[in-house]
Chains A and B, each alone.
Chain A
Amino acid sequence: MRFRKFKLVLLPFILVFTIVLNGCTEDNSKVFRDLGGWPKPPLFQGNPFASGGVGQASQYTFEGLFQIVRSTDKIYNRLAESVEHKGNETIIKIRPGVTWQDGKPFTSKDVWSYYMLNNGVEIAKHLTGIEITDDTTMVFKWQEPSPFTEMKNLFLAQDQQATIPYHLYGKYVDKVDELLKQANPTNDPDKKGPFGLEISDKLRKDIDKNWQDFLKAGPKMPVGTGPFIVKKVTASDMILEKNEKYWRAENIKFDRIFIKNPGSDSSGLALLKSGKIDTYPGTPPKDILENMLATNKDLVHYRMFDPATIGMVFNLDKPPFDNQKFRQAVVYALDRTKIREVGNYYGQEADVSMTGMPQSELSKWITPDNREKMTKFSYNPDKAGELLTELGWKKGADGNWADPSGKTPEFIIGVSGGWLQAVNSAQIAAEQMTKFGLPTKLLAVDGSVYYNNATKDKGAYHMSVDWVDVSWGFMFPWNSLRNFYWGGIGNMAHLPKFKDGPDKGKLNMKVPGPDGQVVDIEKTLKGMPYLQKEEERKDAIYKLAWITNENAYGVGFFQNTTGYFENVKTIKGWPREDEFEKYNRSLPVPTEPEDIDAVSEINFGFGGITYFVEGRLSPRE
């Protein structure tokens, strides 16, 4: 009885105490409220390379020598003070006085550590080594031939070099250094590993084991050089505090970053709608976007080009998709306007099939004259019918097309089931093909088996949906072209490859180009980073884009338009403020170069936390 009374008094007290405590932790002065994911404690740890990394804390905690804006290729110096290219050497000076968040100085050796241990990075394939001159100077030595200057910069800017502090991971760095010293340089391009070394199987095994050991090591909390330090991590919240010793601390206008882990898109949108977060990535369907802006007047939505196109590739191993005209007919049969309206209303349709590069980049690299020479693939079911008739197909009384042998085939489009935007787009494509007379079903397959199904043997699907014309990392079109021809998308398309001999596994594609001359795609792609003249590069890009389009290896449904919601009541410094009223807080994709840059950089996925480091963002008083 007495205990019950005690409980009656204690419970309200605990309730009040909790509310007060919550109020204290939700101190909104000079706070930026973000959202994202991370491995839940006890899995959370400080090694960014371990499974799941450090999640959303990564961009606030870690940085590199440079910050590349993925969608524009603009490069900011971060920890690098200067870069000088001299022939086959690149001399980088790092900023003096930079420290790790645990107080230890950041030196050239830390950058060297990153490349030694993380030697699978792309740039390592183009270097012979990295030489430390002193604590703040290092020399990157390039192999012969070396890439053109802008390419070198892109390779350097891709990496986040301040992630493997030598004072924490020295044991593993020294071990891999020892192992790499046992390897010999080679000139055989097929045997070349990192730094031009031939890595034997035994050595590879030892290097991999050392890497696995490194993944298990590391501090409990991340130690970077970035402007914020991770202080508290729970399953639902993360708190970061300003790093007072940051090399550009005067630019950082926030004392704390609160990150919420909403667990689902709907919960994230609810947080945004109720004003509990200051930023939210993506462009939801038009009606949801408009509703969000209507119900929370403090929000602004910026749309921006995503250098990625949702589309599908045709499986060249499955007849009739081995026939160029048939593939072209399918592209003509698709009404991409209707696919875009459902898949991404604000997306951009293309008048090409696919080119191996995002549609928004075509005008930068291909002259108007050459662009005119590229076949237009706008919606044209009559043209599609003509092409099928030319191939001997006949349309039956049931409205379905029968092949020359009299059979009406049934096609399968494969898509990763968890990617709803692609599922919806592909469903419309399947409906349209069926209506046109080519019965098509969609299989929305679990993501864990989808890629394997699409690529193994002859492939399980006639058409596979993915990001097709897509540029991950940087925008120079070699990146997206190789992504198609050498990457997973090419595997889904089952592009012809040598099955044996010295070129086993390489593309066996010698295809007529725009001038009728045969183009060896493998050779052209391989040589592209070493073309020193811009004209040569543009010519190679045009040839490959023309071939990709003309052969209709796939079809881009639409270039994705991504975006960001920002809270303008709590945070100031967002771009295009003078246009909020004009566009009713729903800002279209910018067209002016400076606007394109400014808007791209608010996207953490494109440009990291550039707005924080450059001192553009601050809390509203």
Chain B
Amino acid sequence: MRGMIDFFRIICHNKRSLIGLIILIIFILMATVGPFIFKLNMTVDYNNRYLSPSLEHWLGTDFAGRDTFIQLVHGSKEVLLVGLLAAFFTLFVGALLGTLSGLVGGRLDSGIMLITNLFLTIPSFPILIIMAAIFSIRDPVSFALVLSAWSWPGLTRAVRSQIISLKERDFIVICKVMGMSKPHIIFKELMPSITSFLSISFIMTMRGAITGSVGIMMLGLAPYSPTNWGQMLNLAVSQTGGIFNPLGFIYLFSPILCLALFQLGSIFFANGIDEALNPRLRG
């Protein structure tokens, strides 16, 4: 409990991380509460396309006369859930295998690295096409699993390198000499040193998953969703012509702004996490 209070105290004292936290809370509310407040209506209303922002339509309407803001709200649920889950799975597998590989070494290291390299060298696209022919994704968890299937190996290698570098440092050697347990060394000594790296990786993986989800959709692995932010961006470029149609600028930039803000919030928040968890930055 005290740890949690300390953690949030550090976060709140750091302006950047506070801004990040606020942005993330807004997005989380948008994804969880938003859909209950704003009802989605995807009926085409061609005569009211590209309306300017107003009280009725906060971000105007799209190429088919549908409310842009409400699409963003409903899209955020799927985008954040899939992104978060994919990043979580990636981080869990990558950090676990990377830590084990780097810390234990020997045959286990060789075995894990063999599998990791295998996954790194197998091109994902043909495999995803084959998967699309066999089954289709019906829920966010399997969607996230598919997205993370090709993102954990890179993280595993990176974490392994970090651990190999750290375990030779004096403070770890002292821990070993003092006879401290492996879990203590891992969770109390090593992990805090790589938390900032992991949190940045988490954010980057999440961003990759959000954009990657569009690719998965367009392969037919997951149902097509026009409210997915990435898909909205695709539609904005193809249907409004992007730069060829000034009327569509708000529709084009809305998902870009959401993605950018979400990433900015995550990065700012990670900055605070780093300060809260990295022993080298703590006073």
Which residues of A come within 8 Å of B, CB atoms? Answer: 265-266, 269, 273, 284-285, 287-288, 291-292, 338-339, 341-342, 345, 412, 414-415, 417-418, 420, 423-424, 427-428, 431, 435, 441-446, 448-450, 452-453
Contacts and interface: CB of A to CB of B under 8 A. Distances in A.
B246 A428 contact: no
Contacts of B226: 427
A398 to B, nearest CB: 15
B244 A273 contact: yes
Nearest to B131: A449
Nearest to B238: A420
A152 B124 CA distance: 50
B224 A443 contact: yes
B245 interface: yes
B83 to A, nearest CB: 20
A443 B223 contact: yes
A329 to B, nearest CB: 20
Interface in B122-163: 129, 132-133, 136
B44 A291 contact: no
Contacts of B46: 338, 341-342, 345
A480 B247 CA distance: 39
B120 interface: no
Contacts of A273: 244
Nearest to B62: A342
Q: Is the interface of A mostly helix, strand, loop or mixed?
A: helix
A417 B241 contact: no
Nearest to A423: B224
Contacts of B240: 285, 287-288
B155 to A, nearest CB: 27
Contact of A266 (B63, B239, B242, B246): B242
A444 B238 contact: no
Interface string B238-271: 1111111111100000000000000000000000
Interface of B: 42-44, 46, 49-50, 63-64, 129, 132-133, 136, 217-220, 223-224, 226, 235, 237-248
A449 B219 CA distance: 9
B241 A446 contact: no
A446 B220 contact: yes
Contacts of A452: 133
A450 B219 CA distance: 9
Contacts of B136: 412, 443
A200 B92 CA distance: 60
Contacts of A446: 129, 132, 218-220
Nearest to B242: A266
B44 A428 contact: yes
Nearest to B239: A285
Contacts of B42: 431
A269 B242 CA distance: 11
Given A288-B240, A435-B43, A446-B218, A427 B245 contact: no
Nearest to A341: B46
Contacts of B237: 266
Contacts of B220: 414, 417, 443-446, 449-450, 453
A305 B64 CA distance: 23
A416 B239 CA distance: 17
Contact of B132 (A291, A424, A431, A445): A445
* 10 closest Cβ pairs, A-B complex: A445-B220, A288-B241, A338-B44, A341-B46, A417-B218, A441-B223, A442-B224, A444-B224, A449-B133, A446-B219
A126 B30 CA distance: 66
A266 B223 CA distance: 26
A287 B241 contact: yes
A441 B221 CA distance: 12
Contacts of A415: 224
A341 B44 contact: yes
A424 B244 contact: no
A277 to B, nearest CB: 15
A284 B248 CA distance: 14
A621 B138 CA distance: 62
Given A285-B241, A423-B224, A417 B219 contact: yes
Contact of A449 (B129, B217, B239): B129
18 contacts: A273-B244, A284-B241, A288-B241, A292-B244, A338-B43, A338-B44, A345-B46, A412-B136, A415-B224, A417-B219, A424-B239, A427-B224, A428-B44, A431-B42, A442-B223, A443-B224, A444-B224, A446-B219
Contacts of B43: 338, 431, 435
Given A273-B244, A291-B244, A446-B132, 14 more contacts: A269-B241, A269-B244, A285-B240, A287-B49, A288-B245, A338-B44, A417-B224, A418-B218, A420-B238, A435-B43, A441-B224, A443-B220, A446-B129, A453-B133
A45 B237 CA distance: 35
Given A287-B240, A427-B226, A431-B42, A342 B132 contact: no
Contacts of B241: 266, 269, 284-285, 287-288, 291
Contacts of A412: 136
Contacts of A338: 43-44, 46
A444 B64 contact: no
A444 B217 contact: yes
Nearest to B220: A445
A443 to B, nearest CB: 5
Contact of B245 (A287, A435, A453): A287
A52 to B, nearest CB: 21
A418 to B, nearest CB: 7
Nearest to B44: A338
Contact of B248 (A287, A431, A450): A287
Contacts of A418: 218
Given A291-B241, A445-B132, A342 B224 contact: no
Q: Most chain-B Cβ atoms within 10 A of its Cβ — which of A265, A287, A431, A450?
A: A287
A586 to B, nearest CB: 15
Nearest to A266: B242
Nearest to B125: A446
Contacts of B219: 417, 445-446
Nearest to B237: A266
A452 B217 CA distance: 18
Contacts of A449: 129, 132-133, 220
Contacts of B238: 265, 420
Nearest to A446: B219
Contacts of A453: 133, 220
B235 A424 contact: yes
B54 to A, nearest CB: 19
A606 B132 CA distance: 35
A338 B42 CA distance: 11
Contacts of B248: 287
Contacts of A444: 217-218, 220, 224
B143 to A, nearest CB: 13
A291 B245 contact: yes
Contacts of A435: 43
B242 A291 contact: no
Nearest to A430: B224
A404 to B, nearest CB: 25
A32 B141 CA distance: 55
Contacts of A341: 44, 46, 64
A448 B218 contact: no
Contacts of B242: 266
B223 to A, nearest CB: 4
A284 B237 CA distance: 12
A212 B100 CA distance: 54
Q: Which of B220, B235, B246, B247 has the most CB of A within 10 A?
A: B220
A443 B217 CA distance: 7
B216 to A, nearest CB: 10
